[in-house]
Amino acid sequence: MELISENRSFGGSQKVFKHPSNTCGCEMTFAAYLPPQVEFGPVPVLWYLSGLSCTHENAMTKAGFQEHAAKHGLAVIFPDTSPRGAGVSDDESYDLGQGAGFYVNATRDPWKSHYRMYDYIVNELRSVVMSNLPVQDRHGITGHSMGGLGAITIAIRNADLFESLSAFAPIAHPTQSDWGRKQFSAYLGDDESTWAEYDATLLLQEHGWKGDLLVDQGSQDQFLDLLKPEALADMMARRRQPGQVRIQDGYDHSYFFVNSFAGDHVAWHAGRLN
């Protein structure tokens, strides 16, 4: 693991690393914020998964998590959203290929040799973080848009690995959305029965979540028809799943929205991790 950059932030340290990934078959980059509390010992971890077209850097610089993480004593991990490099398959559109890994394990060519973001987050990067950074084996997970979908699906499928879960404007029902059907068809093939394990609403229907769930959604989000928050809210009501889907009046899909409620989400996770 190679340190690329390090900056002081709210008494802690914002670092960026790169490392060779056996899972993705390329070099991967991620960011890690370490709060000032690491001076006294390991701290819990909050994972933040970013959305379409993002890298590790977008949320690191725009989401405003550092101030709140320093206050509550949480490390924050910002992974990349896909494998990258000259030998990694890509597509001309922003919503497929590099920058659009959708946190799945691809099973079709030409994607399957590199696009294994599910295994990368759950297994490989988790091991890298645990082995090299001063963190406890107590994890929460959140994310925005495609990353919100990834956070919900990864947490529900690995409830033994995560203690807390939230999301910002997640792609809630991708098997019924153009943000999902296009990508799942490319990465996973035309057998739609294989798509369900990456659909937040369907996973919630089948398994539920062991704790409570916090979801924030902007009322003026320009992608509401693609995100389908009503599907997730309806499923939470039908399952009597503890939690909240909060419609935030006037907010859109941007990082201004994420930044506005970052403090709520960090406090939410800190209350369940500390």
Domain ranges of the chain: 2-271
What pLDDT, in 10s, does the model give residues 30-83?
Answer: 999 999 999 999 999 999 999 999 999 999 999 999 999 999 999 999 999 999
Distance CA 262, CA 67 (A): 10
Measured from the Cβ of residue 98, the count of other Cβ atoms closer than 10 Å reads: 20
For position 259, what pLDDT does the model report? 98
What pLDDT, in 10s, does the model give residues 164-217?
Answer: 999 999 999 999 999 999 999 999 999 999 999 999 999 999 999 999 999 999
Q: 16: pLDDT confidence band, cut at 50, 70 and 90?
A: very high
Q: Which CATH class is domain 2-271?
A: alpha beta
Q: 245: pLDDT confidence band, cut at 50, 70 and 90?
A: very high
Instruction: Over range 127-132, report the average pLDDT.
Output: 98
Instruction: Over range 98-104, report the average pLDDT.
Output: 97
Q: 229: pLDDT confidence band, cut at 50, 70 and 90?
A: very high
Q: 163: pLDDT confidence band, cut at 50, 70 and 90?
A: very high
Prediction pTM value: 0.97
17 contacts 1 by C-beta, under 8 angstroms? yes
3-state secondary structure 92-118: CCCCCECCECCCCECCCCCCCCCCEHH
| Omega before 110 within 30 of 0, i.e. cis | yes
Q: Sign of torsion, CA 63 255 151 95?
A: negative
Quote the percentage of the chain above a pLDDT of 90.
Answer: 100
How far does Cα 266 stand from its chain's mean position?
Answer: 14
**Average pLDDT along the chain:** 97
For position 144, what pLDDT does the model report? 98
Residue closest to 170 by CA, chosen among 212, 198, 210: 198
Catalytic positions = 145, 221, 253
Distance CA 132, CA 176 (A): 40
Instruction: Over range 231-259, report the average pLDDT.
Output: 98
Strand, coil or helix: 257: helix
Distances in whole angstroms, Cα of residue 148 to Cα of each of 38, 47, 58, 159: 27, 11, 15, 16
For position 107, what pLDDT does the model report? 98
